[in-house]
Structure 1
Amino acid sequence: MSHPKSHPFAFAALIIGSCALAFGPWLVRLSGVGPVAAGFWRLALALPFLFVIASAIGQPVHWPRRGLVILIVLAGFFFAADLAAWHTGIHMTKLGNATLFGNVSSFGFAAWGLWLARRWPSLMQAAALLLAALGAALLMGSSAELSARHVRGDLLALFAGLLYVGYLIAVERARGALAPLPLLFLASVFGAAMLLPLSLLLGEQVIPANWGPIFMLALGSQVVGQGLLVYAIGSVPPLVVGLALLTQPAISALIGWVVYQETLSRLDWLGAAAIGFALVLVRLPERGLRRLPEQPT
């Protein structure tokens, strides 16, 4: 499957969306409701905004064909499961750790893109992947020191990251036949419908005492963050999307440092710089990719 032609604004949208998503863990901590309930409100409160924006820009929400509905339901399921696991992990580990482990999806989605293209990464892409992996490993350094305290939260965030790969793949498949905002709206509807019963079943606090953080989570993470991400996925190759998402752990670690005095070592700063440089590398002009050997039939 050939990838759609890139829109000039797609990469900028990807970076802005990734930065907006990085504030999500902090807002989940401030939400004042259970972690699954926070996921429900994130999706539910975003729906009217997504509907109005979609109509205003000429992407009205409509019911797609059956095959596409199944794909959107899958996207909603994976996203709901990701939010439930990730939000729970956010309360059990450092902000930087939760975002870092949650973004294991970055490498999973990049690998999916390379497999889909049936090509080996070019020299430049391979260097970018190695730099990003090094940066992620350096950012993980402080987590390793505190693994006894944060291991359960780290594992939940890691599991959430794997679920997020399923969501990204479903979105990437559906974007070929559906505009970004209707797709995000419908996936959010299905995800919210799955999260509310789970939150009630777990006996969580569902109604917040302060609606401010919840509205900020819905607008920042779902409308702006996911909206720009879903838009970019239709134009930017999965490898670049995956590496761009790795900006989130560095931003979340910085928020944790500023707001919660969570320690940032020199290795953390070096890891963040390595990820930034990897993102620059993967955007440089290149001569192409080496095709994978044809498989015998």
Structure 2
Amino acid sequence: MAPPAAPPPLAFAAVILANVALAFGPLLVRMADTGPVASAFWRITLAAPVLAIVAFLSPARPRMPGKGQAMLWSVLLISGIAFAGDLGTWHIGIRQTTMANATLFGNSATFIFPLYGFLVARAWPSRTQGIALLLAAVGAGLLMGRSYQVDPRHLVGDLLCVLAGLLYAVYFILMSRVRSLMPPVPALAWSTVSSIVPLFVFATLLGERVWPEHWSALILLALGSQIIGQGLMIYALGLLSPLVVGLALLVQPMVATAIGWLVYGETLALPDLIGVAMVAVALVLVRRGSGKTPGKTVAKPADMDDERRI
């Protein structure tokens, strides 16, 4: 059997840049003067008009649901709700744990999404991929382990971020199906719109302050995390294997660890640096020896087969 092709360079660069942009999200959430879920609501609401305009100006304009499109639009709706749950729980957790832990646990899809690829999409790992996944797992453990041992008060925040990571994995799985049928910008635009109402209801039920006095952090959050970060992520999701996308998520805790050290004085120790190095090596290995195997696609329900022109 021929080894899998390396990931397309542009798609691999996109997924790395996406995670660098997304790593600044926790910092901007802490800077926002609204409640944590309300900041997620504004991240989505401010980004939605921009994404919608770009989608409607693109050659593949999104259309409203029509005959034979029920499955596709149901998946988009559920993906938006899952993403709203991910953002809501993650933004609450961000304020109750360290920057590194928030991004690491919030991206536990690192291992869940590749597992989906192995078991459901039948994207089985090569030897190089297996080594990369093992290095990433050990590196991630080093990044999170010392922080939890030093301050167990982070437990509630960590658990909320783990829940966010599980919902993020659900979002990835659903959007990978959508991306096999729809271009990236329309897919992101529709799923973003689907997240607005759930986040507003969530923030209101929690009694959070929704209307901000200062908009700068929220505007940067919408631009950096939703438009640039998620935009590049959804683009890459249609071109890279679940393993490559999953391991690339570990770029976020690497960057967030540096941000926490520079901005909040969250101390770095030797295990942190070793963990970062192991994750970096894993990314190099997965870049050299993995990708979407030609001819391997995720199975799709019958009523999603005619959507490629959407």
Q: Output the CA distance in 1 between the equivalents of 2:168 and 2:19.
A: 14
Please tell me whether residue 143 in structure 1 is matched to residue 147 in structure 2: yes
The Cα shift of 1:265 comes to 1.0
Q: Output the CA distance in 2 between the equivalents of 1:147 and 1:170.
A: 35
TM-score calculated relative to the size of structure 2: 0.88
Residues 142-151 or 228-237, more deviating: 142-151
Change (3 A) 1:120 1:7: closer
**C-alpha contact 1:104 1:158 (8 A) present in aligned 2:** yes
Q: Output the CA distance in 1 between the equivalents of 2:289 and 2:98.
A: 37
The match for 1:133 among 128, 134, 137 is 137
Please tell me whether residue 158 in structure 1 is matched to residue 162 in structure 2: yes
Q: Output the CA distance in 2 between the equivalents of 1:85 and 1:78.
A: 11
1:99 aligned counterpart, secondary structure: helix
Q: Output the CA distance in 1 between the equivalents of 2:290 and 2:174.
A: 28
Which residue identity is paired with 1:190? S
Residues 65-74 or 127-136, more deviating: 65-74
Change (3 A) 1:56 1:8: farther
The match for 2:237 among 228, 233, 240 is 233
Q: Output the CA distance in 2 between the equivalents of 1:35 and 1:196.
A: 11
Structure 1 segment 44-55 matched on structure 2, within 5 A? 44-55=45-56
Change (3 A) 1:115 1:47: same
2:120 aligned counterpart, secondary structure: helix
Please tell me whether residue 212 in structure 1 is matched to residue 213 in structure 2: no
Q: Output the CA distance in 2 between the equivalents of 1:258 and 1:230.
A: 30
Change (3 A) 1:200 1:63: same
The Cα shift of 1:201 comes to 1.6
**C-alpha contact 1:13 1:229 (8 A) present in aligned 2:** yes
The Cα shift of 1:143 comes to 2.1
**C-alpha contact 1:109 1:242 (8 A) present in aligned 2:** yes
Partner of 2:42: 41
Q: Deviations over 1:179-233 (max 9, x none)?
A: 1111111111111111101211211010111100000000000000000000000
Any gaps of 5 or more consecutive residues in structure 2? Answer: 294-310
1:160 aligned counterpart, secondary structure: helix
Any gaps of 5 or more consecutive residues in structure 1? Answer: 290-297
Identity of aligned residues (%): 48
Please tell me whether residue 29 in structure 1 is matched to residue 33 in structure 2: no
Residues 145-154 or 172-181, more deviating: 145-154
Change (3 A) 1:108 1:95: same
Change (3 A) 1:119 1:24: closer
The Cα shift of 1:140 comes to 1.1
Number of residue equivalences: 286
RMSD of the TM alignment (CA)? 2.0
**C-alpha contact 2:108 2:162 (8 A) present in aligned 1:** yes
Q: Deviations over 1:148-173 (max 9, x none)?
A: 21110011001110111100000001
Change (3 A) 1:286 1:54: closer
**C-alpha contact 2:75 2:174 (8 A) present in aligned 1:** yes
Which residue identity is paired with 1:248? Q
Q: Deviations over 1:241-294 (max 9, x none)?
A: 0000111001011101100111111111110111111010012147999xxxxx
Structure 1 segment 257-272 matched on structure 2, within 5 A? 257-272=261-276
